């Protein structure tokens, strides 16, 4: 038998009509059509992915960038941000005009009403984006199965909705597990730091080794001096190439969060890491330095995800 048929998402028809109306300066009609797309989409994520794709189909690249920026702003965990960055980079591979639009740095074009309809969680109920039931939540926490990115994001959202005293016990159960991605571990640590958690705890580093961490000594990863130094270095080096600057900001965020709070154990300077990331992304053949091999391994952990063949936690 042949492969099963793949049907387009239902909301795409309305999104295409909405963008056509927008291009004809019929914004009121466009709002109605975006709302209809919102009503029939299975999840907010489905709606947003479809909208980004339709904007690119119609060569509305600046509008796609505006929507993507708003989606990223509204993410509340690094794991979800990582998923969106990867999706957007895949789109840029398919639509060359998207990268060109990034380089041109034009002003925002998309009307605010569109952004609100496409990113606000307050409109229609989207079943798959709602918190999972307490029974399913407990089952996912205690299971021995590997957690995929969506499951980790759902767990994070549920933890946020709980009183911290209840969430804390579940966070520690997850931190003991080998089932979570390094990025998700950072999201969990952030929940503890944001709630002024005290005491010490053993956490796994990127090599799978347990290291004692004092939560009282931690800041959020994005507030750490080393992370900020990296952002400043990227801004100074790539100021003439805004698209590459954006990509490097994303790469640096994910890399730092994968090694947080153990950046010092790399025994590398911030500039060395960023230069290594740049060369590895550019597939430079001469990357034989042991430090760069270390960077490559960590980057593989980020993008392969837990369960990947490069994951030291599986060995």
Positive or negative, the CA dihedral 119, 122, 124, 130 is positive
Residues 22 and 67 in one domain: yes
pTM of this prediction? 0.62
Q: Is 42 helix (H, G, I), strand (E, B) or coil?
A: coil
Strands (E), 112-268: 200-204, 210-214
* Domain finish residue from 218, 251, 281: 218
Q: What is the pLDDT of residues 231-286, one digit of tens each?
A: 999 999 988 887 788 788 888 988 999 999 999 999 999 999 999 888 887 655 45
- Number of Cβ atoms within 10 Å of the Cβ of 82: 24
* Domain finish residue from 76, 96, 126: 126
Q: Is 268 helix (H, G, I), strand (E, B) or coil?
A: coil
Q: Phi then psi for 41, rounded to 5 degrees? A: -65, 140
In this structure, is residue 1 part of a structural domain?
no
Q: Are 69 and 101 in contact (CB under 8 A)?
A: no
Q: What is the pLDDT of residues 129-160, one digit of tens each?
A: 445 565 666 677 776 666 766 677 778 878 88
In this structure, is residue 190 part of a structural domain?
yes
Phi-psi region of 305 (alpha: psi -120 to 50; beta: other; left: phi over 0): left
**H helix or E strand, kind and range, residue 92:** helix 78-94
> Can you give the residue range of the structural domain that contains 246?
222-306
The count of structural domains within the chain is: 3
pLDDT at 145: 67
Strands (E), the chain: 200-204, 210-214
């Amino acid at each position: 038998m042949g492969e099963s048929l793949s049907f387009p998402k239902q909301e795409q028809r309305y999104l295409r009509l909405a963008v056509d109306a927008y291009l004809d300066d019929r914004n009121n009609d466009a709002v109605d059509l975006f709302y209809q797309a919102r009503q029939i989409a299975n999840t907010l994520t489905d709606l947003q992915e479809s909208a980004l794709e339709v904007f690119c189909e119609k060569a509305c690249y600046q509008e796609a960038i505006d929507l993507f920026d708003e989606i990223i702003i509204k993410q509340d965990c690094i794991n979800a941000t990582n998923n969106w960055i990867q999706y957007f980079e895949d789109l840029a591979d398919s639509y060359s005009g998207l990268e060109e639009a990034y380089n041109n740095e034009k002003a925002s074009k998309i009307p605010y009403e569109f952004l609100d309809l496409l990113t606000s969680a307050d409109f229609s109920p989207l079943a798959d984006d709602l918190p999972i039931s307490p029974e399913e939540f407990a089952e996912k926490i205690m299971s021995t199965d590997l957690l995929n990115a969506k499951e980790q994001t759902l767990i994070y959202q549920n933890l946020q909705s709980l009183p911290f005293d209840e969430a804390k016990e579940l966070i520690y159960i997850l931190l003991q597990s080998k089932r979570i991605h390094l990025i998700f571990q950072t999201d969990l640590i952030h929940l503890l730091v944001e709630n002024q958690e005290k005491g010490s705890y053993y956490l796994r580093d990127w090599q799978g080794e347990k290291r004692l961490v004092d939560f009282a000594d931690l800041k959020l990863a994005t507030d750490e001096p080393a992370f900020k130094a990296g952002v400043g270095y990227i801004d100074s080096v790539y100021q003439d190439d805004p698209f590459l600057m954006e990509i490097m900001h994303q790469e640096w965020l994910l890399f730092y969060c994968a090694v947080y709070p153990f950046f010092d154990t790399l025994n590398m300077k911030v500039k060395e890491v960023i230069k290594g990331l740049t060369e590895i992304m550019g597939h430079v053949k001469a990357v034989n330095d042991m430090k760069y091999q270390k960077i490559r391994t960590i980057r593989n952990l980020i993008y392969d995800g837990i369960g990947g063949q490069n994951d030291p936690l599986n060995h």
